[in-house]
């Protein structure tokens, strides 16, 4: 962040040791006249996160209550193949000792992936074993950045694997790999064999 060039030393704004402006979810800083959103307000430094923060800041300034709910921020690496993730990662779960279940769906079982000549992709849900709610998602393959949106909504709305598996997805598409991965968790996947959970 370039917070050191803003003249903040002449305000009540606090800056972290890493150089980020300290702000709450509404963008408010320690100075009541200054709000901060985007890269200068901390990680992850992504344009879509900054845009969302700006919307929250405007809503807060207008007097709306924005305290409820957490917001899932997706990340996309625009390589070939694309890689995208949202919510809890396996690395974070292992580091914190959080229990999780993994549901993987290889694109080698996807008719659409084969028709595109790209059966090397993978779709993965991380699921809370107690509630069956999806808590994390990862996907690798062409169009991963386009497919991550459904996962963000599912995680943010605390959907269960059954919610996703029961939602009819069009066939043949890559979007159905999200449903298929949920079906793997449930033991109801059609294209690959995994015994039903007891």
In order along its 198 residues, the chain shows pLDDT tens digits of 878 888 999 999 999 999 999 999 999 999 999 999 999 999 999 999 999 999 999 999 999 988 765 689 999 999 999 999 999 999 999 999 999 999 999 999 999 999 999 999 999 999 999 999 999 999 999 999 999 999 999 999 999 999 999 999 999 999 999 999 999 999 999 888 666 666
CB 142 within 8 A of CB 80: yes
DSSP-assigned beta bridge partners for residue 105: 123
What φ, ψ does residue 77 adopt, rounded to 5°? -110, 115
Closest to 84 in 3D by CA, of 143, 39, 44: 143
Is residue 171 among the annotated active site residues? yes
Model pTM score: 0.86
- The active-site residue, picked from 114, 169, 171, 185, is 171
Whole-angstrom CA distances from 78 to 46, 90, 140, 174, 197 are 13, 21, 10, 17, 35
What φ, ψ does residue 186 adopt, rounded to 5°? -80, -15
């Amino acid at each position: 962040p370039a917070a050191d060039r803003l003249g903040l030393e002449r305000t009540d704004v606090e800056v972290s040791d890493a150089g980020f402006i300290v702000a709450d979810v509404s963008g408010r800083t320690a100075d009541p006249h200054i709000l901060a959103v985007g890269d200068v307000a901390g990680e992850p430094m992504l344009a879509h996160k900054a845009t969302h923060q700006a919307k929250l800041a405007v809503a807060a300034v207008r007097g709306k209550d924005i305290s409820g709910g957490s917001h899932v921020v997706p990340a996309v690496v625009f390589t070939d193949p694309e890689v995208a993730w949202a919510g809890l990662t396996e690395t974070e779960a292992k580091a914190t000792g959080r229990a999780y279940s993994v549901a993987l769906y290889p694109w080698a079982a996807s008719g659409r992936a084969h028709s595109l000549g790209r059966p090397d992709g993978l779709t993965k849900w991380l699921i809370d074993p107690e509630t069956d709610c999806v808590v994390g998602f990862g996907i690798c393959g062409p169009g991963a950045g386009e497919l991550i949106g459904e996962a963000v909504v599912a995680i943010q709305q605390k959907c269960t694997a059954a919610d996703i598996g029961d939602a009819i997805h069009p066939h043949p598409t890559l979007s159905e790999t999200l449903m298929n991965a949920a079906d793997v968790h449930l033991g109801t996947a059609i294209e690959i064999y995994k015994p039903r959970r007891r």
